[in-house]
Chains A and B, each alone.
Chain A
Amino acid sequence: MLEINNLSVEVGGKRILTNINLRVEMGYTHVLFGPNGAGKSALLMTIMGFSGYNAVEGEIIFKGEDITHMPVNERAKLGIGVMTQRPPNMTGIKLGEFVKLVSKKNINPEELAKPLDMIRFLDRDINVGFSGGEIKRSELLQLAAQKPDLYLLDEPESGVDLVSIEQIGSTIKKLLFGDATCAGERRKKGKSALIITHTGQILDYVEADKGYVLSNGMMLCTGNPRELLNQIKSKGYKGCIRCNREMS
């Protein structure tokens, strides 16, 4: 589904990602760990194609197509959807109106908003005055309307209270797995995801297949997501860095 080969990225002339390799297969969920400032968000922004993130080396392949220099909306049309960490205030644009437009008018925004408890936000300008948790739910609502094949989720659980985390977790699960009843079916029909998480709380809702650790713009290691998480919890990122050095 997604294949990143030797990708290096500059922002404002400064190198922030170096030689990244990553692969997300159809129906798989991968998680991305890493300390603050590692470049995790930058990687998602680059995959989506936001301006300012310049791929100076390497390539991004999605569904067999080289999308490295493709405009944002064409990537969206190909099936990539993103929840960014800090979306802009969209003064004058109502959430409900936009959700309807994104769904190509096929969807009743209220129905979609109900499980996320977002009905009363449909008449509000997108992100304007939204709290941290409300932004996450609004982004998820938009993704539910967009129905991408690959979900790029930047810290979906951060700043979210315990009730909302339940709504967010189960919504993500529903979006990713649909009504697939077994693992095999999920591989065939399910959606793919690349999720950034610090706490790993999202793993309580969505079973992830693979984890990556990014540090200082470089991919340190990959492995079983729970194992990586436990390691980071016990030994911190320093442990990862040391282990990586010993391996090579």
Chain B
Amino acid sequence: MQSRNELKKRAESAIKKSAAYGEDFDLDTLGIASTEIATSENLQDLDTETKKKLLNVGVVPSGEGRVGSFLMLDNAISHKSLYDSSLELMSTHEAMEKYYWLKDYSWKLVAVDTDKYTATSYLENANGYFIRAPAGQKAKLPVQTCLLLGSRNVSQTVHNIIIVEEGAELDVITGCATKNGIEKAMHLGISEMYVKKGATLNFTMIHNWAEQVGVRPRTVVHLEEGATFISNYISLKPVRSIQSYPTVKLEGRGAVTRLSTIAVAHPGSELDLGSRAVFNAPDTRAELISRTITTGGKIIARGEMIGNAINAKGHLECRGLVLSNEGMQRAIPILEANVEDIELTHEAAVGKIARDQVEYLMARGLSEDEAVGMIVRGFLDFGMRGIPEELKDDIDKTISQIGMKAM
């Protein structure tokens, strides 16, 4: 049992600890985002600009097509609504007060002393969303949550916990965005997700940050026997730096996970995106897929699979397109087998768009831009399931802009 004091001590000892990867930000130059912000009863009452920001990250202000909505603006819980009483949605602080047992989940998957970002989040008593689907409950529509940065020169500290109890099914959409005019800020996001026996969690995360924002998510997912975790991660807009390495621990027999990533690094962006599956139980499966594009920024696509139990099967696929001479793509796949009877494979490819493909389309009358756009769209479209409809327009628009810039 980790006492509060002990956690605090560990966090304090890690407050200057650099992360294993990514640009090392000095958090002391930034303040901590405010927890004192007026709440909005209705997301529709937000200004037009903000509503558009929400929509572009899959968060529908009207709440239509969703069973619940949650908005965190800076460090304040600014909106919460729930239409399905069988689910629970509240702030992590509220949940910690309400449920004594939650201390057995909080800061159990993510270690407080992982690095300065987790340490700061702990010491600042980060708040966030708590979502729980009780045993056997199958939510018909997704819960949507939005983490919005509204002030400059601050760190937003977030701590989310999701628990999907036995046999339950839950869809969560989390959209992260920045209000206009935020030149410099940090987002530190701790997420701990528990998917219990036979349960399913579909998790879609969309990032739309801004040119000078640093982003350090720290996510760990725990899967019990027969549990399923499907994750889609999308980041197509400019950002200064994102470094994340979500880890899925397959702890129960037959657990399954699939993590898909699509990301674009614009000039000036550094994306260090990984995903990791740890097979700690027999008959577990994982598929880690990433499709990344650089139009001038740096991308490191990491993927790691660690096989510790028999009959585990995993496939890792990293594909990267380089659309500019300034850009950089690096794929780093790691496979580790610690037992016999295990099957881990990987496929990695980085490179330019093939000239013969572009000309093949041009030979039927498409312009060079149209041809590149079509190839890029085809590259990114590999059948992610559960992408919110509302997003597709914006994704299409972004992709055609990428196609134009590529030449």
Contacts and interface: CB of A to CB of B under 8 A. Distances in A.
- How many chain B residues sit at the interface, stated as a range, is 20 to 34
A88 B357 contact: yes
Nearest to B356: A88
A92 B367 CA distance: 18
A72 B363 CA distance: 6
Contacts, number: 63
Contacts of B103: none
Given A93-B374, A93-B378, A88 B363 contact: no
B382 A92 contact: yes
Contact of B364 (A50, A91, A102, A125): A102
Nearest to B367: A73
B368 interface: yes
B105 interface: no
Contacts of A165: none
The prevalent SS among residues of B at the interface is helix
Contacts of A50: 356, 359, 363
A142 interface: yes
A109 interface: no
A91 B359 contact: no
B365 A77 contact: yes
B397 interface: no
Contacts of B378: 90-93, 125
A174 B357 CA distance: 28
A71 B362 contact: yes
Interface in B349-369: 354-357, 359-368
B215 to A, nearest CB: 28
B392 to A, nearest CB: 15
Interface in A4-18: none
Contact of A73 (B354, B355, B366): B366
Nearest to B364: A102
B375 interface: yes
B360 A92 contact: no
Looking at B354, B357, B368, B380, the one whose CB has the most chain A CB atoms below 10 A away is B357
Given A91-B379, A92-B378, A51 B359 contact: yes
Contact of B379 (A71, A82, A92): A92
A92 B377 contact: yes
Contact of A92 (B363, B364, B368, B375): B375
B381 A92 contact: yes
Interface string A54-98: 000000000000000001110111000110000110111100001
A146 B355 contact: no
A76 B355 contact: no
A101 interface: yes
Given A90-B378, A92-B377, A76 B365 contact: yes
A31 B164 CA distance: 68
Nearest to B380: A92
Contacts of B367: 73
Contacts of B354: 88
B364 A76 contact: yes
Nearest to B376: A92
A48 interface: yes
A89 B371 CA distance: 14
A76 B381 contact: no
Contacts of B371: 73
A172 to B, nearest CB: 17
Interface in A137-166: 142, 145-146
A125 B359 CA distance: 17
Given A92-B375, A92-B378, A146 B364 contact: yes
B365 A73 contact: yes
Contact of A76 (B356, B357, B362): B362
Interface string A101-112: 110000000000
A72 B379 contact: no
B375 A51 contact: no
A146 to B, nearest CB: 5
A195 to B, nearest CB: 17
A101 B377 CA distance: 14
B359 A72 contact: yes
Looking at B363, B366, B367, B380, the one whose CB has the most chain A CB atoms below 10 A away is B363
Nearest 8 interchain pairs by C-beta? A92-B378, A73-B362, A76-B365, A72-B362, A93-B378, A102-B364, A88-B356, A72-B359
Given A73-B362, A90-B375, A101-B374, 10 more contacts: A50-B356, A73-B363, A75-B363, A76-B362, A77-B365, A87-B360, A88-B356, A92-B379, A92-B381, A98-B364
5 contacts: A50-B356, A51-B359, A82-B363, A90-B357, A98-B374
Interface of B: 354-357, 359-368, 371, 374-375, 377-382
